[in-house]
Structure 1
Amino acid sequence: MKKPVYFDYCANTPVDPSVLETYVKTASQCVGNANSVHAMGRASKAVMDDVLAKMAALLHVRPDEIILTSGATEANNLALKGIAAATRHVGKHIVSTSLEHSSISASLSMLQMEGYEIDLCPLTSDGTIDLEELADLVRDDTCLVSISLVDSEAGVIQPVKKIAEIVHSHPKTLLHMDATQAMGKIPVDFAIADTVSFAPHKFFGLNGCGVLIKHEHVPLVPQNSGGASTTLYRSGTPDPAMAAACLCALEKMYASLSNWQSHCEKLNAYLRRELTKIEGLKINSPDHAVPQILNISLHGYKGFEMQKALDEKGYCVSVKSACTSDYLPSHAVMALTKDRKRALESFRISLSPLTTMEECQGLAEAIREIHEGK
């Protein structure tokens, strides 16, 4: 049986060998707990401090603005719940969108049950936030606006500079930016938002690691109890090996981002051209979406049915974000198309610099064969 062909890089990427090597090497060297004050503890702390300093220089932030977490889900939960708890004096109104990852939407649902008022900003026909509507929604009692720079299902890129101008015209309102699907796909400016989240497993790093950038001025209530660590805002034993592996993944990503982008643009253009030749197939991702994400619908096939059929032919795609149910319509496609049936029929192809043109040709042929009943 031939090896399956992977088209689900938005859910996870294979770890780069140098990242794994960095993790193993650092873990073997850092025996002491970096919170301990003895010699081996101090040695581990020195490694952690060095890694955070290099990471900060790479991201153009301060070392003490970096909060290492278990993943982007924890980073998003910490940002939303921590800011909401710290800014009750401002108000209990939050603005977001229907394109957010489930770690954002579920956090908002929990906050809503605690008495927060949640407004979802309408989108324009290309999936970007309606800036006029956003300006109307943000109020003096709005404590937080949360948006994803790139959504995980359709790959829509939001105009974050314009969004930030609107949000920050209200001095007490903070902006959280989920950059999880943007990192490794487009350049990310960490100065735009007050907090920014991402996870290195989206760009050939390790699972089990996430990052929340919290700028110095941002108030945040910790969500873990149990004392300080590398930061006051997330307690627990520091992991120099995971931090070093994250830094390694970031360094490799920044060195290759331009080449990754151009490679995926060629593959995306090919797939758009070939797939639209199939009767009843519609492209859901707008033209300005990141080239690594292509969301499509094929008339007459539920998204999970296409996923299963392609899996049987040896191609791995996803129905939606890996953290959501397969049997519900895509919120992103619903927002973009206003068509529930099309949203139920949608599935996501995600590309990476490891994807080849031959793999894309095989995938296009497999979709054509499924449609023709072969």
Structure 2
Amino acid sequence: MSVEQVAAVFRDEHGRAVAVLTRVFGDLDIAEDAVQEAFAAAVEKWPAAGLPPSPAGWIITTARNRAIDRLRRESSREDKHAQAALLQAQDEPVEEGVVRDDRLRLLFTCCHPALALNVRVALTLRLIGGLTTTEIARAFLVPEPTMAQRIVRAKAKIRAAGIPYRVPYEADLPERVRGVLAVVYLIFNEGYAASSGDELIRTELCQEAIRLGRLLVDLMPDEPEAVGLLALMLLQESRRPARVAPDGSLVLLPDQDRTLWDQALVTEGQDLVRRCLRRDQPGPYQLQAAINAVHSDAPTAADTDWRQIVQLYGHLLALNPSPVIALNRAVAVAELNGPATALALVDDLDLGSYYLFHAIRAELLKRLNRPAEASTAYKTAATLTENTPERTFLEQQQAALGPLTN
């Protein structure tokens, strides 16, 4: 077994292990350190011994034992904190509550109102999703050092404020929902369009986000935004078989073979969108799900109801005036009103560090027969993405413009 395979297990099981150990010991730092030690032991032992029958069980058991050994040493030196953590681990009560899944438990406790929303999202992405600081920084479109400081300060605030790692009371759940939903969707996005690496899609992250989304809907069936988020993820996931060509290259939505879309996921997602419409309590995730439902209704790209999509984006912008949403709306405007109108909208956006901003500009410029400017935009977009299939696609688009003359 290779180190790369151990790394894959880390990606799959890190969140569960940290969540379980946090419940057992009541301390995030102890849980994180113990899980890191367990994975370090796995790197040493698994290549020779092979993958254990239950990698997650091996990691959790090893981490628990390492933590108990450490706490016993520290408690013998009159360390009151270590004594308390050791006592909790030895008692290990079974906690029955509203949140029955350890990862959801940790999601809700990390999304405490005392923390700013962006901090809650960043911290829980790191702990539950197992994303690196670099990946989280790209999701937030901020520099990596900024994100690293944000995570460190969040942990420090949790320690200083004594924020408990417990299941929130049922009455407290609604105020935690927004941060939890943002975490789940950012995990999904990192899987749906990986920020770096040789693969366009990281299926395990998409599946984990959808699993958490289903649990949230089971937990809060009357929360329309939880239903909307699940619908959105299912409709986007339904297109996965058509998004990558056999050679691993990217296939854009207009060029996808729609017969490859997972119709079971399409049907489930559309049913959830209709469930949201009946409630008539629109929110950002529900509107994004409705936009994707319109795409899934069209048997071909030419049949897409772009007028309805532009209208839905208008409602979405009113609720969430984000430049990224405005950029996506401009793509729909290009189909409805032409590339010149869309380019004027795009050029008003302050998204110079976002590769899709330049990629979309390049496509619009190409359609306007401005190849030199399109080439520059494609080149800029390619330099800003660290995902190999996306970069290759952008470079191919630039090359297809042919030799340019001044």
TM-score bracket, shorter-length normalisation? under 0.3
Give the structure-2-normalised TM-score.
0.23
Give the structure-1-normalised TM-score.
0.25
Instruction: Choose between structure 1 and 2: higher strand proportion.
Output: 1
